[in-house]
């Protein structure tokens, strides 16, 4: 099926006979594969008698050589999947199998993409970026303090390099334009956090998606914001470069070196919010973040810090 997709990805018409000859199968077999492409990957294929078959829009697939051609810094080992449950899940399986870190897992589509707090991350084929970078971490938990916030800054700068104006951060792991979600980050840890462990930096970015009724919240995409299709291979290369710079700085100086610039990029700085933890709710005013990446809130005139993977932040109606 992928061979057929590669023949069609240019967005031009191809006859059934030519496709069959290229694949070494019958025209009826080509027809069946086309139906699979439509149902499995939710692609629209035009069928015109006398002209053949054409994708509704050309496809630019992720390719390791194309990514390498854009890379300016270190090139991490790269594994690209056509379809997978989630890049984070595959990354964790690779760690269990002994793959040496750092390495990167990408996918064209996820069948079980995950966001924070167990939420689904909608993952249509060849439209967005599903990215998981695996790092080996030595020296205990201090190396992880504020790491997800640092990743957020790197993602934001990669987006801005493509002309996405107004992109900013929402504590702890989201990137927004206004009130619309553009990207999310999910960090997962395996191993001994007090000694040697591996951390998976999972990043999902809405890149070229323009219509999707499966997303249950306000969203936008890079293409919506800049008005043109984005080269996802170039995006991977720029994201890699930004992460290399920021991760090196984080290893050397810790999160405290990022605290002020993160607060400057925080869209909800100075806003009234509700912090949700299970069934409990804390209302307060966002003051910023502390030296470990925890959220600083003014609660009834007293400054308090909050951190944890199961916290959710919402704007109050009177904000």
CATH topology of domain 2-55: Arc Repressor Mutant, subunit A (1.10.10)
Mean pLDDT of the chain: 90
Q: What is the CATH number of domain 64-263?
A: 3.30.930.10
Q: Is 27 annotated as a binding residue?
A: no
Q: What pLDDT does residue 114 have?
A: 65
pLDDT of amino acid 222: 97
88 assigned to a ligand binding site: yes
Q: What pLDDT is attached to residue 182?
A: 96
Which is more confident, 205 or 55?
205
Model pLDDT, residue 210: 82
For residue 180, say whether it is annotated as part of any ligand binding site. no
Q: From CA 68, how far away is CA 139, in angstroms rounded?
A: 31
H or E stretch including 159? helix 147-160
pLDDT tens, position by position, 222-240: 999 999 999 999 999 999 9
Average pLDDT over residues 197-211: 92
List, in order, residues 6 or more apart from 81 with CB less than 8 Å away: 87, 90, 105, 106, 107, 108
Does the annotation flag 114 for ligand binding?
yes
The band of 294, judged by pLDDT with boundaries at 50, 70 and 90, is very high
Rounded to two decimals, the pTM is 0.89
Q: Which pLDDT score is estimated for 118?
A: 55
Check whether 220 is labelled as a binding-site residue: no
Please list the residue range(s) of the chain that carry CATH number 3.30.930.10.
64-263
Q: Is 234 annotated as a binding residue?
A: no
Per-residue pLDDT reduced to its tens digit, 29-71? 888 888 888 887 778 889 888 898 998 878 889 999 999 999 8
Catalytic residue set: 116, 181, 314
Question: What was the pLDDT predicted at 278?
Answer: 84
Q: pLDDT digits over 190-199, tens only?
A: 988 788 899 9
The confidence score (pLDDT) of residue 95 equals: 97
pLDDT score for 16: 87
Predicted confidence band of residue 170 (pLDDT cuts 50, 70, 90): very high
115 is an annotated ligand-binding site residue: yes
The fraction of the chain above a pLDDT of 90, given in percent, is 63
142 annotated as ligand-binding: no
Q: Please state the rounded mean pLDDT for residues 174-179.
A: 94
Q: The domain 268-315: what is its CATH number?
A: 2.30.30.100
> Which of 203, 162, 158, 206 lies closest to 184 in space, CA to CA?
203
pLDDT band at residue 116, thresholds of 50, 70 and 90?
low
What is the structure's pLDDT at 213? Answer: 62
Answer whether residue 129 shows pLDDT above 80.
yes
Provide, rounded to the nearest whole percent, the portion of the chain with pLDDT above 70: 93
- Outline which parts of the chain fall under CATH 1.10.10.10: 2-55
Task: Classify residue 258 as exposed, middle or buried by CB count within 10 Å of its CB (0-12, 13-18, 19+).
Answer: buried
Per-residue H/E/C for 183-200? EEEEEEEEECCCCEEEEE
How does residue 169 score in pLDDT terms, banded at 50, 70 and 90?
Answer: very high
């Amino acid at each position: 099926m992928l061979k057929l997709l590669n023949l069609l990805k240019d967005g031009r018409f191809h006859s059934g006979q030519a496709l069959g000859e290229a694949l070494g199968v019958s025209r009826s077999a080509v027809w069946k594969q086309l139906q699979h492409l439509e149902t499995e990957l939710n692609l629209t294929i035009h069928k015109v008698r006398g002209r053949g078959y054409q994708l509704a829009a050309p496809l630019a697939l992720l390719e390791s050589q194309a990514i390498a051609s854009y890379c300016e810094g270190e090139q991490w080992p790269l594994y690209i999947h056509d379809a997978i449950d989630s890049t984070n899940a595959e990354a964790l399986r690779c760690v269990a199998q002994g793959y040496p870190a750092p390495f990167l897992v990408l996918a064209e589509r996820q069948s079980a993409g995950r966001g924070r707090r167990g939420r689904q991350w909608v993952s249509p084929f060849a439209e967005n970026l599903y990215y998981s970078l695996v790092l080996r971490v030595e020296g205990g938990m201090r190396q992880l303090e504020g790491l997800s916030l640092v990743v957020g800054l790197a993602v934001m700068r990669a987006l801005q390099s493509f002309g996405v104006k107004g992109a900013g951060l929402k504590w702890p792991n989201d990137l927004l334009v206004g009130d619309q979600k553009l990207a999310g980050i999910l960090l997962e840890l395996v191993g001994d956090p007090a000694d040697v462990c591996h951390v998976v930096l999972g990043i999902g970015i809405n890149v070229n998606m323009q219509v999707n009724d499966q997303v249950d919240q306000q969203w936008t995409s890079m293409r919506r914001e800049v008005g043109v299709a984005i080269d996802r291979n170039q995006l991977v290369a720029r994201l890699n470069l930004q992460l290399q710079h920021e991760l090196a700085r984080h290893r050397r100086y810790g999160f405290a070196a990022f605290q002020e610039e993160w607060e400057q990029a925080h869209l909800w700085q100075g806003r009234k919010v509700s912090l949700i933890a299970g069934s409990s709710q804390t209302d307060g005013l966002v003051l910023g973040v502390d030296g470990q990446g925890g959220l600083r809130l003014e609660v009834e005139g007293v400054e308090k810090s909050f951190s944890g993977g199961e916290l959710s932040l919402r704007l109050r109606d009177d904000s």
